[in-house]
Amino acid sequence: MKAVVFGGTNQLRIEERPIPVPGTGEAVIRITTTTICGTDVHIVRGEYPVRPGLILGHEPVGVIAALGDGLEPEYRIGQRVIVGAITPCGQCFSCLGGSHAQCGGPLGGWRFGNTIDGAWAEYLRVPDARANLAVIPDSLSDEQVVLLPDIFSTGLSGAESGNVRVGDAVAVFAQGPIGLCATLGAKLRGAALIVGVDAVPERLEMARRFGATHVVNVREQDPVAEIRRLTGGRGVDVAIEALGRQETFENALRSTRPGGTVSSLGVYSGKLVAPYEAIHAGLGDQRIVMTLCPGGKERMRRLLELVAHDRVDLTPLVTHHFAFDDIHEAFEMFSSQRAGVMKIALTPQAVGELVAQRVTARAFRQ
């Protein structure tokens, strides 16, 4: 099968690999759509360590192609599924304790494109499939669901971990795809005032579509001062950090009221510093909460329900389409944030080929 492989720092290669075979409790899915994530950019740039030779990608949409022992009759060949970026086993001490993303140890739930082969291939082997395969309702297209496995699950978790409550004031620092989903998450949890912060006008415009009641362009305004002003001097109840930089973290902390929460989603490449006055000498009753993406099929089922009942529409974020063969162009565009790209739908074949294939697939399912 065709696969996009990490070849070492700044190297992505298209290689031919054998189609994986499912072991007990595993499934193999034929990938129909996947995407590129900011974390993949970290990996390719060598900022987050992954072993060369691994197939990257952790946001799979596909069709069940093969099932290992123990998965029938709950699942059957031909079902359309998504799988979370995080694939917990459900059975270790961490999972049973509710810490699914830390399955088996630190970050252990993140396996695709990190410790095992990922979704940038024609086929993907899914471990602990019983805990991870989420069937897609027939009414939903690949593009409606491709952002659920990571971007939306992570963004929403920023609002959840921050415990945003109905009527809260919330600020979201950075309005890339995850920040936009955090903005949407704040809206979904009933925040009243939602301030989107970024430096790119197009992203601030998108922030309004995703629920921001106010936006702040950091090139034009001091976000901390502006948030203070908007909240009558009080500060927000919850500030969500969605970039992974000291500056945004610090601004989030300074924007938060005493007793409030900074909910951090970013992947940091260095230490975090909390200034003395921003933590009120340690006496401000503040919380700092960091969250990796929630996964597992129950999480995916909930997110699918939101899309199916028209509570969430993520398709405006899918701005471009590429086939695996064009991964270099896609990756370059995404990592340089060129051409107004937000998220790229990545498919094994070019779109023309796909249409033909879908016709076949439908025939197959009938």
For residues 278-317, which are near its own copies according to CB under 8 A?
279-292, 296-299, 301-303, 305-306, 308-311
The sign one gets for the Cα dihedral 168, 173, 33, 60 is negative
Closest CA to 321 of 309, 313, 311, 329: 329
Burial class of 362 by CB neighbour count within 10 A (0 to 12, 13 to 18, 19+) = exposed
81 binds its own copies (CB under 8 A): no
Residue 283 or 363 having the CB closest to its own copies:
283
Smallest gap from residue 117 Cβ to its own copies (A): 20
Please give the size of the binding site for its own copies, defined by CB under 8 A: 88
Please select the residue that binds its own copies; options are 6, 110, 210, 334, rule is CB under 8 A: 110
Which residues lie closer than 8 Å to 277 by C-beta, 6 or more apart?
Answer: none
The interface with its own copies within residues 168-197 (CB under 8 A) comprises 168-169, 185, 188-190, 192-194
Residue 74 or 353 having the CB closest to its own copies:
74
Structure tokens at 38: 């900011």
Please select the residue that binds its own copies; options are 14, 19, 274, 350, rule is CB under 8 A: 274
| Cα distances (Å, whole numbers) of residue 247 to 210, 238, 253, 306 | 24, 17, 10, 33
- 297-308 vs 153-161: helix crossing angle, rounded to 10: 100
Smallest gap from residue 86 Cβ to its own copies (A): 10
Structure tokens at 256: 């938060």
In the shown chain, the binding pattern of residues 326 to 365 toward its own copies, with x for contact by CB under 8 A and - for none, equals ----------------------------------------
Closest CA to 230 of 259, 195, 258: 195
Smallest gap from residue 333 Cβ to its own copies (A): 25
Interface region with its own copies, contact rule CB under 8 A, candidates 55-63, 95-103, 315-323, 357-365? 95-103
Q: Residues of 6-32 as b/e, b for ≥16 C-beta within 10 angstroms?
A: beeeeebeeeeeeebebeebbbbbbbb
Smallest gap from residue 188 Cβ to its own copies (A): 4
DSSP 269: S
Please select the residue that binds its own copies; options are 8, 105, 201, 316, rule is CB under 8 A: 105
Closest CA to 212 of 243, 174, 246, 250: 174
Please select the residue that binds its own copies; options are 266, 334, 342, 345, rule is CB under 8 A: 266
Smallest gap from residue 138 Cβ to its own copies (A): 14
Interface region with its own copies, contact rule CB under 8 A, candidates 85-93, 118-126, 323-331, 342-350? 85-93
The interface with its own copies within residues 120-179 (CB under 8 A) comprises 128, 130-131, 156, 159-160, 165-169
Interface region with its own copies, contact rule CB under 8 A, candidates 119-127, 174-182, 217-225, 258-266? 258-266
Please select the residue that binds its own copies; options are 16, 18, 24, 366, rule is CB under 8 A: 24
Smallest gap from residue 185 Cβ to its own copies (A): 7
Structure tokens at 186: 């704040």
Q: Which residues pair with 239 in a beta bridge?
A: 171, 262
- 177-188 vs 153-161: helix crossing angle, rounded to 10: 50
Alpha carbon distance 85, 82 (integer Å): 9
Smallest gap from residue 125 Cβ to its own copies (A): 16
In the shown chain, the binding pattern of residues 28 to 57 toward its own copies, with x for contact by CB under 8 A and - for none, equals --------------------x---------
What's the distance, CA 182 to chain centroid?
A: 10
- R_g over Cα of the chain: 20
Please select the residue that binds its own copies; options are 10, 51, 73, 98, rule is CB under 8 A: 98
Please select the residue that binds its own copies; options are 29, 82, 101, 126, rule is CB under 8 A: 101
93 binds its own copies (CB under 8 A): yes
Alpha carbon distance 11, 60 (integer Å): 22
